Each structure stands twice: as structure tokens, then as C-alpha cells.
């Protein structure tokens, strides 16, 4: 990342908090966009599904799609009651949902234990209701388990993460049973790659993705093989 971009991101963080994401949202609103709800893919034979919330889904979707064994990652909403919410409703913090990503993967290539580790490395799981400049319960850290084995795997991954000293503070991730996942609007899907010049993507998302790639270098797909 270029130094001037990092400096701008730092100044934005201290001067306005989530202003960067709000500006990106305004830009998206001004462009022609498909606000219809994305369709969830059907799991292929032998595939499994996992769901995580780790802050802005634009970045988290990209991070999971970099991993070998992951066929697709879908941005959406989870953790709240009721039916399908809109992005604006979730962004208000009033629905109880968190921006989330649903991952379709081959457990023979990437086991759930590795996904749990990747989830913790994909964001800062020690900050409550916040990820970087983004603040609010819609950005909280959550891991949704579907089986007792997944719950145990998540709890073990968190224990290892806390013991690693990666962060001074302990993990605050909510480990909860999976209930429902609602896909986000079409224009959010693949947003990271579709908007590489977006200020939020450059200043907030790209540094997170680069850090993720360094920590999980041996788990990444070959360059150019994402979503192939």
C-alpha cells in the first residue's frame, strides 16, 4: 500500500471514524446498482457451508475467497431476528443483524478448523462492536456453528488465538448457533474486486487483505485462481 494512502486512512480514522464507509456508501448510491437480493448458491455434493461476521463484508468476502477449497463466499446478514433486511436497515443498527459472509467450501481441502483460524485472522476479534473505523453492532464479531463439533472447533481456535499474543486484549467474538443467513443486495457481491479505486477499499480493506494473505500464505489459491 502506498504511504500517502496509509496516511489518509490514519487521518480519517482519528478525525471521523466510520466516515470512510459512509462515503463509500454514498458513492455506491450515486452509481447505477442492482439492489435486488442476491441468490444463494446451492452447495455442491461434498461441500459444507460456514457463516461468519467480521466487520464490513466487502473485505471479508474477498479474504475467504482467496482460500484454497473455498468455492464461493456470499455477503449478507445474520444474527438478527425476523426476515430479509436491507443494507440500509442493517446499517442503522436497529435490526440486530451483523454484516456477514456465508462460505461454501470443500472440507476435504480446507477443514473447518482452518476456516476458524482464517476467520480470526481476517479481522480484529478483540474489539467490541467495531472494526477499524466502522462502529456499531452491525460490525460485531460472530461465528455461527451448525454442529457441536464446529462449536468446539471455534472455542479451541479462540483459545489458541488468545494464547498467541496476537492482540493484547482477549477475543470478544460471539459463538452462537446458526439460525438464518440473508444474502445482501447484488451490488455488494464482489464489491472489493469491482471497486479497487474506492477510497474505503484502498484505505481500509486492502491493508486487511494484505495482512490476511501474509498470515495464511500457505492456504491461498494460486494467483488469479479466485472464483475459478
Residue spans of alpha helices (H) in the chain: 3-16, 19-30, 57-65, 87-91, 112-121, 148-164, 191-194, 199-200, 206-215
Task: Inform me whether the pLDDT recorded for 17 exceeds 50.
Answer: no
The single-letter DSSP state of residue 138 is G
Number of H helices and number of E strands within the chain?
9, 8
The answer to whether residues 114 and 24 touch, using CB atoms and an 8 Å cutoff, is no
Q: Whole-model pTM above 0.85?
A: yes
Neighbours of 165 (CB within 10 A): 7
What's the pLDDT tens digit per position in 18-67? 445 656 665 555 567 999 999 999 999 999 999 999 999 999 999 999 99
Give the largest CA-CA distance in the chain.
Answer: 49
Alpha carbon distance 221, 93 (integer Å): 35
What pLDDT shows up at residue 41? 97
Name the active-site residue from 18, 48, 54, 56: 56
Active site residue 56: yes
Tell whether the model's pLDDT for residue 201 goes beyond 70: yes
How do residues 104-159 score in pLDDT, each as one tens digit? 999 999 999 999 999 999 999 999 999 999 999 999 999 999 999 999 999 999 99
Can you tell me which residue has the cell 472455542?
A: 155
Give percent of the chain above pLDDT 90. 83
Q: How confident is the model at residue 14 (pLDDT cuts 50, 70, 90)?
A: very low
Amino acid at each position: 500500500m502506498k504511504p500517502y494512502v496509509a496516511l489518509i486512512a490514519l487521518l480519517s480514522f482519528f478525525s471521523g471514524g466510520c466516515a470512510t464507509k459512509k462515503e463509500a456508501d454514498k458513492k455506491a448510491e450515486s452509481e447505477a446498482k442492482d439492489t435486488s437480493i442476491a441468490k444463494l448458491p446451492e452447495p455442491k455434493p461434498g461441500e459444507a457451508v460456514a457463516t461468519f461476521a467480521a466487520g464490513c463484508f466487502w473485505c471479508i468476502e474477498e479474504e475467504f475467497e482467496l482460500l484454497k477449497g473455498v468455492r464461493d463466499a456470499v455477503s449478507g446478514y445474520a444474527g438478527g431476528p425476523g426476515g430479509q433486511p436491507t443494507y440500509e436497515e442493517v446499517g442503522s443498527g436497529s435490526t440486530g443483524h451483523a454484516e456477514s459472509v456465508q462460505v461454501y467450501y470443500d472440507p476435504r481441502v480446507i477443514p473447518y478448523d482452518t476456516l476458524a483460524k482464517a476467520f480470526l485472522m481476517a479481522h480484529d476479534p478483540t474489539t467490541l462492536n467495531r472494526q477499524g473505523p466502522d462502529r456499531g453492532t452491525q460490525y460485531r464479531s460472530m461465528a455461527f456453528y451448525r454442529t457441536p463439533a464446529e462449536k468446539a472447533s471455534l472455542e479451541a481456535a479462540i483459545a489458541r488465538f488468545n494464547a498467541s499474543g496476537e492482540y493484547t486484549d482477549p477475543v470478544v467474538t460471539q459463538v452462537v448457533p446458526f439460525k438464518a443467513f440473508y444474502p445482501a443486495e447484488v451490488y455488494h457481491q464482489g464489491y472489493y474486486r469491482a471497486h479497487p479505486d474506492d477510497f474505503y477499499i484502498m484505505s481500509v480493506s486492502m491493508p486487511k487483505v494484505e495482512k490476511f494473505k501474509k498470515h495464511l500464505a500457505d492456504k491461498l489459491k494460486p494467483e488469479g485462481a479466485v472464483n475459478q
